[in-house]
Structures are given as structure tokens and as C-alpha cells.
Amino acid sequence: MSLSISLLFLFLIVATLGYRPCDGEPWKSKPWCNMSLNFEDRARSLISELTLDEKIQLMGNEASGIKRLHIPDYQWWSEALHGIGKSPGIVFDSKTPYATSFPQVSLTAQSFDRQLFHRIASTISTEARAMSNVGNAHLTFWSPNVNIFRDPRWGRGQETPGEDPYLTSSYAVEFVRGMQEGEDNRYLKVSSCCKHYTAYDLDNWHGVKCFWFDAKVKERDMQDTFQIPFESCVKKARASALMCSYNAVNGVPSCASKELLYGVARDSWGFEGYITADCDAIDTIENYHHYTNNSDTTVALAVAATCDIDCGDYYKNHVKHGIEVGLVEEKEIDQALVNLFKVQMRLGYFDPVEEQVYTSYGLDRLNTPENHALALQAAREGLVLLEKRDSFLPVSLASHRIAVMGPFAEDTDVMLGNYEGIPEFIRSVADGVKKYQSDAVIAPGCSDVYCDDSATREKAVQMAKGADLILFAVGINQKLER
């Protein structure tokens, strides 16, 4: 690449991303832009210049910029569960209309292939950097979900590697490393957040919701089961973020638990990143768990527990009054901002783009045939064949007349799972069969997963009577699982 083309490319990066904190004078001469200092000192030098109001406006997922100090707005909330996902920090538009969609985690984990877990995460982080370089992605991703899938009635089990602590930990380590590590060990490739900390596996069951659920967990179960993946995230993968969960653990809301957030994660495990609350989880401490009865006590407990940022506006609306009445100390706010700014600095936001390899990633790395092939490999490796009889499989499509039936015969939405992005194409079961047998009978017979329309069913049965083999596509979807 010629020097002139290189400079043009760097100009386009800066132009599309908007201004960066250390672009130009006098900003690049400020201590927080001095690359010879460590990230801790750089972060503290920046915080020392902020007013209290400015500090507090940085404590939500939509962090307000400080224009007088050349600090731009920042959105902390982006998703990447099984590919770049639709979320506040991500933009799908004409520049970046698609991202590679990988199988949902519950399927990928069934491959038991650690190398595959790592490759998928590395591919996702590469696509994230490519999108970021044209201004369409922030780089703090609230993935992976490493909760233990103990109860099959939990509506979010598909997001997790499963019920086994060892497999879940293995997945967590490889995914976080694949997201964060890359060509340049000076910087995080992207930031990965392990969630939801901890003992979180209930959303809505018989009148009990996650917002006020109190998980009663024995110490042995905590140590042998629920905590294992999070400990691995911190100790082995060096995750740069954790998310505290909505639920309480043995009576104490997770985001208000100094024992869990500081005592275990930071002090015992050595966690050095930032901790975010799940969205509006600070509010639930007071208004759903009723663990406190006022906002001052609520923010005091959460800040003291070292929950650094609130997904929402609760901190922004109430921290200042907590300081005024003496329940929150400003030095606690300063430490929270140190944890946040250090991660941004580790991502390279405060350093020249021309000195970073990840800022050179172009859109030729996004949604590529190679990435699609990896997604296909993951789908194949994760499929589980329960039983094979009489050498019937694999099916010879050439020697059988096929009928495809069931509510998912032509349904493509169900194939995306949740926390989905926008793939370039989705192939239904019917699409796949037609590729090999263009005159296959497509007779779903059901308009939804309940399959309770008898007239439609009977019509499908009649259509399929001439078939030698019926492929029946059925299961649960997001509406039912939730």
C-alpha cells in the first residue's frame, strides 16, 4: 500500500469514527494521551480534570461526551452472542448491511471443539473492528452468556453452552480470548463481558421474574457449579468486563453485593476490568427486590460494591444526591471511571490510529465467504444425531421423493435465535431440500408451532401422500420459549 493511500485510509477512519480524544493539539499533549504512561495513570489524569457532573454523566451505557476535553460520546452496550448483534452500539446500514451469523451457542457448544469456539469469537471480533473502522460499531461487547443451563424451562438457555460447568468454562475461556486477543498484544481487539454474574437462570416462571428472583444457593453448589465459568473468565481468559445479574443471591441483589463483585471477583480472582449492571438492574435493587427503600441507599450499595456503570439512567439520576447526603464518596466514582477509561484505553481509543493494526481492518474482512464457511462448519459440528438405524442416513435425495412438512419448513426467523444480527441470507429447510430436489413437496401444514389448524394440516397430508420420505421441521420458537 502506498503512503498516499495509507494516509487516505487513515483519514477515512478518523472521519467516519468522529473525533478521537487525542486527535490534534492541544489534546495529544495531555497526560492522558501520553503513551509512555501506564493506563492507570493516564485514566487518573483525565478524571482529575472532570467536574462531578461530568463524571456522573459517564456512568450510564450512553456515556455523554465531554466536549471541552475532546472526549466523544460512547455507547458501552453492544452484543455479539453468535455474531455481531443488533444493539445500541451497532449500526447496520448501507456501509455494513450484514454480518456473519453463527449458530446459536447451545448448538456450537455441542461440538466440544475448543478451537472452533476460539475461531468463531476471533472472526466476530475481526468483523467488529471492520465495522468500527467505518463508524458503525463500538467495541465493548456484552457477550458471552456463561450462566449454567440447569433448568430446561429457562427461556434463555439457548444462549449458553449448557448445564456442565467444565464445558461452559471451556467455552467462556476460548470465546473471551478469541474476542480480546489478536495480532497486537498492546491492545484489546475488542472487550468481552461475561454475564450474568451469578446464579442466574430464571426469567419468568409461575409469577416469579428475574427482576425479583432470589436464588437460594448452597456454598458447595456456588463453588462447584455457578461460579466456575466466571472464575475461568477472569483467571484464565482475563475478561475485561463482567455483568452483574438481576437476581439476588441468598437475599442480596447481585449488583449490590460487595461480597460478590469486590470480595470474590476483584479481590479473590484478581479481576481488573469494569463491571456493568444488566439493564435497569440498579433500579431493581430498590423497586423490585425492595432491598432498599430509597435511591440514595441504592446507589451507595451498588457503587460500594464496585458496579462501575449502569445500563440505564439510574446512576445518572441519583448518584449526585447520594454524594450530597454523604452516602457515596466521590473517590468511589473516580475509581469506577478509572476502570471504564482503562478499558477504552486498552482498546486504543486514546492512541493514534496509524500506530494500531486493528484500525487498519477494512470491510473486506466483514461477511466473507470464509466466515460463512466457518459458520457452516460450526452448524455441522454441533448437530447431534440421536440414533441411526439400518444405514438409512445419510438420505439419498436422488432416490426418494421428498416432502417437507411442519411449522418450520419455510420459517427463517426461527433459525436466527435471539441477540441476532442481520445475515446476508438465511436458508430454510425447504430451501436446502429444493437445492437438491427442485420438485420436492413443501407442505408446512401449520401456521405456528402449536399446529392447531386441522384444515391446514389435512391439506398438507394430502399433498405429501405421494412422497417416499417426509422431513418434519418442528420445535419451539422465541415466542414460546420466552
- Give me the active site residues, please: 278
DSSP of 269-303: T---SEEEEPTTHHHHHHHTS-S-SSHHHHHHHHH
C-alpha torsion angle, residues 73, 79, 84, 89 (rounded to 10):
-20
DSSP-derived letter for residue 258 is: H
Cα(417)–Cα(478) distance, rounded to whole angstroms?
7
List residues bridging with 441 in a β-sheet: 403
DSSP of 112-143: --HHHHHHHHHHHHHHHHHHHTTTSB-SEE--
Pick from 59, 83, 47, 21: nearest CA to 424: 83
Pick from 316, 315, 313, 280: nearest CA to 301: 315
Grid cell of 154 as nine digits: 429457562
What does residue 201 show for φ and ψ, rounded to 5 degrees? -155, 45
Non-local (6+) Cβ contacts of 404 within 8 A are 429, 430, 433, 440, 441, 442, 443, 444, 470, 471, 473
Cα(217)–Cα(240) distance, rounded to whole angstroms?
26
